[in-house]
Amino acid sequence: MAEPATDLTFDSAALLASEEHEVTIVGRSPWYLAWRRLRRNWLALASLGLFFVIVIACALAPVYAHHVAHTGPNEVHAGEKVRVDGKLKDVIGGGSFYDVNKGRFVVKAPTYLGPTWWHAEGRFVLGTDNLGRDVAVRVLYGGRNSLMIGIGSALICTLLALTLALLAGYYRGGCDWLISRFFDIIWAFPVLLLAIAISSALAINGFHHFGISIEPGSLWIPTLVISYVLIPYIGRPIRGQILSLREKEFVEAAIGQGAGPLRVMFSDLLPNIASTVLVFFTLIIAANILTEAGLSFLGAGVRLPDPSWGNLIASGQDQIETAPWLSLIPGIAIVLTVLSLNIFGDGLRDALDPRAKVRIEH
């Protein structure tokens, strides 16, 4: 029997055509791949879930205040009594008093109604502060303010930083020098000190220039101040990436084909840094919430009586021995929010570009 000349056989055209239909290679976008990597990171997703829970709870603060607690965030109830488990209790009790018979003051610490844990028909669930205000309502409203400032300032800061970085990175030369020095000037100041200085300057009269009018006490003041002081922390690293991308062949090719600056920026450069910007945006929210808390703690952020987590911690300081919950509850809220954002931000970074080393440091 004769040996075959070769092992090779030739498939028929029909067979080949049928196999082509069976194995289809699907093109997958980087975003899809990132999502696949992200959904394997359960810790990051759980953190995102926690963040959404906090956001939703804070967003519903007016509903809780109106329908459950029956009080506003700034309403003082000192001197009132509340029924807890059927017993009438002072919202603020105790305290020193002048004893007419003894002819002197009797010194006693005031007592504040502690958490009622739903035993007072939804009132004072987390207790009262030293003015007899509902802590739960103030924490939720405080969270609303802190999150609004954190997210709002992150948006503004990221947009401004991105714009400046694109201009600096694309045009290079004098434009880059000017923008880089602007970053340097802001960077030269400690973030919190610069923010305090600007906030204090705007505290008395607000801002009324260039057709913009912001009243003192407006949430826009801390929002814009935080946006401004953190610009270089996003702008600088993005500028570096754009400078690098600007030298790539595909950018040269686009310019060679006659693409204008705007088109190159938005069609070629921006898509290539989008993942970095997204990670920065997530992380800067956390950083901004912390900065706001620091500012408000020092009295230069959200103005009293409006609550924010930072000023709630500060207000509770003097009652730390008798009513520790006043500082602890907003403190825990900040920790959970910042932690959830940071864990999610790290997960997002790993998912979008595992080699990247994006960090917000200041």
Partner 1 sequence: MMVAAYGVAANKSSSAPTKAYKKVGTLRAVLDTIDFLDPQQAYTGQSWWAMWNVYETLLTYKHVDGPAGYQLVPGLAQSMPKISSNGRVYKFTLRKGLKYSNGKKVQASDFKWAIKRGFLATGQGVGFYTDIAGAKAYAAHPTKGGNISGIVVNNKKRTITVKLTKPRGDFLTILALLFAAPVPSSTSTQILNGKIPGTGPYRFSSFDANRGFTMVRNKYFKPTKYIPRGTPDKIVVSLIGDANSATQRVINGQADYSNAAIPPDRIATVKNKGHLVLRDTANTYYFWMNIREAPFNKLKVRQAVNYAIDRGALNRIVWGGLGRPTQNVLPPTYPSYTKLKLFSHNVAKAKQLINQAGAKNAKVTVWTRDVSDARDAAQYYTSVLNAIGLNAKLNILPRATYYTTIGNVATHAQTGWARWLEDYPHPLDWFDVLLNGNRITNTDNNNYAWYSNAKTDKAIESLKKAQVLTPAVNKRWATVEKQIMQQAPWAPWSNRVFPEFFTKKMGCIHVQRLYGIDALRLCRK
Q: Rank residues 91 and 338 by Cβ distance to partner 1 and give the closer one.
A: 91
* Per CB under 8 A, 104 contacts partner 1: yes
Residue 12, CA distances (Å) to 8, 15, 16, 18, 51 in order: 13, 5, 6, 10, 58
Q: Render 28-95 in DSSP notation, one character per residue.
A: --HHHHHHHHHHT-HHHHHHHHHHHHHHHHHHTHHHIIIIII-S-TT---TT-EEEETTEEEESEEE-
In the bound complex, what is the minimum distance in angstroms from residue 314's beta carbon to partner 1?
10
Q: What number of other Cβ atoms are within 10 A of residue 122's Cβ? A: 16
Contact status: 256 vs partner 1 (CB under 8 A): no
**What is the CB-side half-sphere exposure of residue 353 using CA atoms within 13 A?**
13
The gap from C-alpha 97 to its chain's centroid, in whole angstroms, comes to 45
> Which residues, 319 to 338, sit near partner 1 by CB under 8 A?
319-323
Six-digit token pair at 301?
């952020």
> What's the min distance (Å) between Cβ of 128 and partner 1?
11
Distance between CA atoms of residues 62 and 43, nearest Å:
31
Residue 194 DSSP label: H
Closer by beta carbon to partner 1, 93 or else 190: 93
Are 135 and 77 contacting, i.e. CB atoms less than 8 angstroms apart?
no
Binds partner 1 by CB under 8 A, chosen from 48, 65, 92, 154: 92
102 vs 355 by CB, closer to partner 1: 102
Contact between 75 and partner 1 (CB under 8 A)?
A: yes
Tell which phi-psi region holds residue 64, choosing left (phi > 0), alpha (psi between -120 and 50) or beta: alpha
Nearest one of 171, 230, 172 to 198, comparing CA atoms? 230
The span of 140-148, 184-192, 245-253, 312-320 binding partner 1 (CB under 8 A) equals 312-320
Q: How far is the CB of 139 from partner 1 (least distance, A)?
A: 17
- Shortest Å distance, C-beta 99 to partner 1: 9
Structure tokens at 60: 């519903």
Beta partners for 98? 105
Least spacing, CB of residue 112 vs partner 1, in Å: 9
202-241 footprint of partner 1 as x/- string (CB under 8 A): -xx-----------xx------------------------
List the x/- string, 277-306, binding to partner 1 by CB under 8 A. ----------------------x---xxx-
Among 33, 177, 193, 200, binds partner 1 (CB under 8 A): 200
| Assigned token pair, 211 | 């057709």
Q: Is the dihedral of CA 312, 315, 320, 323 positive or negative?
A: negative
Q: Which of 31, 32, 52, 97 is close enough to bind partner 1 by CB under 8 A?
A: 97
**Which residue's CB is nearer to partner 1, number 81 or number 263?**
81
Quick one: which segment of 47-55, 105-113, 223-231, 287-295 binds partner 1 (CB under 8 A)?
105-113
Using the Cα atoms of residue 243, residue 244, residue 248 and residue 251 in order, give the sign of their dihedral.
negative
| Complex with partner 1: residue 96 or 267, whichever CB lies closer | 96
Q: What x-and-dash track marks residues 114-143 binding partner 1 by CB under 8 A?
A: ----------------xxx-----------
Peptide bond into 305 cis (omega under 30): yes
Number of shown-chain residues binding partner 1 (CB under 8 A): 35
Q: Which is nearer to partner 1, 272 or 319 (CB)?
A: 319
- Minimal CA–CA distance to 276: which of 162, 153, 157? 162
Name the residue nearer to partner 1 (CB basis): 90 or 176. 90
Site residues (vs partner 1, CB under 8 A): 74-76, 78-79, 92, 95-98, 103-105, 107-110, 130-132, 200, 203-204, 216-217, 299, 303-305, 318-323
